Structure 1
Amino acid sequence: MRAISGLWRWRHNPLCRRTDLAEAWTALAALLLMALAAPLIGRLVGGAAQDALQQSVRAQHKARHVVTATVVRALDPSPPDADPELPGGGEPYSRVVAHWTAQDGTARNGTVTARLKDPRPGDRFRIWTDRQGRTVARPLDTATATTHAVLAGIGAALVAAGLIEGGRRLIVRQMVRGRYARLDKAWERAGPDWGRTGADS
């Protein structure tokens, strides 16, 4: 709005310089780009991220399977390092040696994290495995993928708006420098005679 009001105010003013109009037009162009181009870029980036993430979700859900594991024995009761793939909420978990059957029917044993408060031999719990029966992280869910895509789109729009504003500031800075350079040259011509009686100035 400031750019539009500036253009309207200066359009017929005799004190208006070409650089004033150029600065106002630059501000208006930057405003329009931020209002139109930045959201479009955000939408395109968010859409591309959504497509890629949803494809990853489908691939992970196709390649990973839930199987039931049986506790063989509990390990150290101290919790393991934080695993970002584990759901939060303060649920109890323990490291155990467990036995499970892979999708291909082979028996597997290994150390896994069980969502059990007090694991005992024979307790059953669910884990995610790949086709070979190796334990893997929980697959990405659709809602989380959509959230990541939305955040990517918002981030891209903000970056685009920031780049547009940065470009506007650089252009205005160059205009101001040119304006001061011309003012310095004019002052050099008029300065020596400034205030003298009979001088043309």
Structure 2
Amino acid sequence: MRVIGGLWRWRKNPLRRTTDLVEAWLALVALLLIVVAAPVVGSLVGAVAQDSLQRSVRAQHESRHLVTATVTRKLDRAPLDPEPDTTAHDIRTRVVAAWTAPDGTRRHDTVLAPLKSPHAGEHFRLWTDRHGQLMTRPLDSATATTHAVLAGLGAAMLTVGAVESGRRLVLWRMVRRRYAGWDRAWDRAGPDWGKAGTGS
């Protein structure tokens, strides 16, 4: 409301320049875009990301299966390729294990087992596709929602940044044009100041 009041006062101000009014309207438009457009863009991007990520969650849960594997033997080497979503407190040990795929195929491979000190015959669970190929854990719905919310917030912040950058660019060009006008006026008036016979 203060911006609108300021616009109204400038309307009858004899010192008001056209650029002052343009700057005020530019600030008002930028404010409205930030207040209205940024949340709308953020909501739309978040909704699209949520829809896409939830489809991925459903597809991953349909194509990945949790099977029980049996340790055949422990390997002495430390894990070289832990899963990307493992945290520091997850204990993973490299073992040779056997498991039966959902399609009935017997599989045998080196895997990372979530066991502190595995022994032959010990069981653990791992994710595979229907043919028994190792897969990472499927994305869960809560994580997908978190990613969608972050995408929406990021889009809203980018919109705010774009609007403010556009406003500042227009103001910068206006100020440069104003300074160029002052330089031209100075060039017309300045050289004659103080010279004899110029009437100054």
Indicate the TM-score class for this superposition, using the shorter chain for normalisation: over 0.9
Match of residue 122 from structure 2: 123
Q: Are 2:62 and 1:62 aligned?
A: yes
Match of residue 143 from structure 2: 144
Q: Give 1:106 shift.
A: 1.1
**Matches of 2:113 and 2:154, distance apart in 1:** 36
Query: Normalising by structure 2, what TM-score?
Result: 0.92
Q: Are 2:6 and 1:20 aligned?
A: no
Q: What letter is aligned with 1:172?
A: L
Match of residue 154 from structure 1: 153
- Kindly provide the CA deviation profile for residues 53-110 of structure 1, in whole angstroms up to 9, marking residues without a partner as x: 0000000000000000000000125233443133x26132101100000011111101
Structure 1 stretch 104-113 or stretch 8-17: which is displaced more? 8-17
Q: Give 1:180 shift.
A: 1.0
Match of residue 134 from structure 1: 133
Q: What letter is aligned with 1:97?
A: V
- Kindly provide the CA deviation profile for residues 125-173 of structure 1, in whole angstroms up to 9, marking residues without a partner as x: 0000001111100000000000000000000111111011111011011
Structure 1 stretch 22-31 or stretch 183-192: which is displaced more? 183-192
Q: Identical aligned pairs, as a percentage?
A: 62
- Give the 3 Å change call, closer, same or farther, for CA 8–48 of structure 1 in structure 2: same
Q: Are 2:98 and 1:99 aligned?
A: yes
Q: What letter is aligned with 2:54?
A: Q
For these two proteins, the number of residue pairs brought into alignment is 200
**Matches of 1:47 and 1:200, distance apart in 2:** 72
**Matches of 1:119 and 1:125, distance apart in 2:** 10
Q: Give 1:192 shift.
A: 2.9
Q: What letter is aligned with 2:149?
A: V
Q: Are 2:85 and 1:85 aligned?
A: yes
Show structure 2 runs of 5+ residues with no match: none
Query: Normalising by structure 1, what TM-score?
Result: 0.92
Q: Are 2:45 and 1:45 aligned?
A: yes
Segments ≥4 residues shifted beyond 4 Å? 1-6, 195-201
Q: Give 1:197 shift.
A: 8.6
Show structure 1 runs of 5+ residues with no match: none
Q: What letter is aligned with 1:166?
A: S
Q: What letter is aligned with 1:91?
A: D
Match of residue 73 from structure 1: 73
**Matches of 2:26 and 2:19, distance apart in 1:** 10
